[in-house]
Amino acid sequence: MSVTMPIDSGSAAPLPEPGSDASGLDLVTKAGAILDALEAQGELTAAELAAATGEPLSSIYRLVRSLIGIGWLDSGVRRGGYRLGLHFLTVGSALEDAIDVREAARPALRRLVQETGATGFLCVRRGSRAVCVERVEGTTVRSVALQLGNSLPLFAGAAPRALLAYLPEAEQLTVLRDAVPLPGDPERPSAARIFADVEASRAAGYTVSDEDVTFGIAALGAAVFDHRGDLAAAISVSGLQSQVLGEVAEKNIALIGDAADSVSRALGNLRPDLRRMPR
Q: pLDDT tens, 80-110?
A: 999 888 766 666 556 556 658 888 899 999 9
- What pLDDT does residue 16 have? 43
139 and 40 inside one domain: no
44 — pLDDT class (breaks 50, 70, 90): very high
Residue 265 has pLDDT above 80, yes or no: yes
Name the strand (E) or helix (H) holding 230: none
Under DSSP, is residue 169 helix (H, G, I), strand (E, B) or coil? helix
- What pLDDT does residue 231 have? 92
User: Is 195 within the bounds of a domain?
Assistant: yes
pTM across the whole model: 0.63
Domain count, the chain: 2
- State the chain's mean pLDDT as an integer: 82
Residue 122 has pLDDT above 50, yes or no: yes
51 and 101 inside one domain: no
CATH number, domain at 155?
A: 3.30.450.40
3 — pLDDT class (breaks 50, 70, 90): very low
Of 84, 99, 117, at which residue does a domain stop? 84
User: Is 176 within the bounds of a domain?
Assistant: yes
CATH number, domain at 31?
A: 1.10.10.10
39 and 123 inside one domain: no
**For residue 10, what is the DSSP state?**
T
User: Is 34 within the bounds of a domain?
Assistant: yes
59 and 150 inside one domain: no
pLDDT single digits (tens) 211-259: 888 888 899 999 999 888 889 999 999 988 888 898 999 999 999 999 9
203 and 260 inside one domain: yes
Average pLDDT over residues 191-202: 92
Half-sphere exposure of 93 (CA within 13 A, CB side): 7
Sign of CA dihedral 49, 55, 61, 66: negative
Q: Which of 28-37, 161-170, 258-267 has the lowest mean pLDDT?
A: 28-37
User: Is 193 within the bounds of a domain?
Assistant: yes
Percent of the chain with pLDDT over 70: 82
What angle (nearest 5°) sits at the alpha carbon of residue 210, between those of residues 132 and 139?
A: 60
How far is the C-alpha of 107 from the C-alpha of 113, rounded, in Å? 10
Residue 55 has pLDDT above 50, yes or no: yes
Residue 158 has a CB neighbour count (10 Å cut-off) of 30
How far is the C-alpha of 83 from the C-alpha of 39, rounded, in Å? 8
- What pLDDT does residue 69 have? 82
161 and 142 inside one domain: yes
Q: Give the domain extent around 79.
A: 24-84
135: left (phi over 0), alpha (psi -120 to 50) or beta: beta
Residue 268 has pLDDT above 50, yes or no: yes
Average pLDDT over residues 1-17: 38
Under DSSP, is residue 16 helix (H, G, I), strand (E, B) or coil? coil
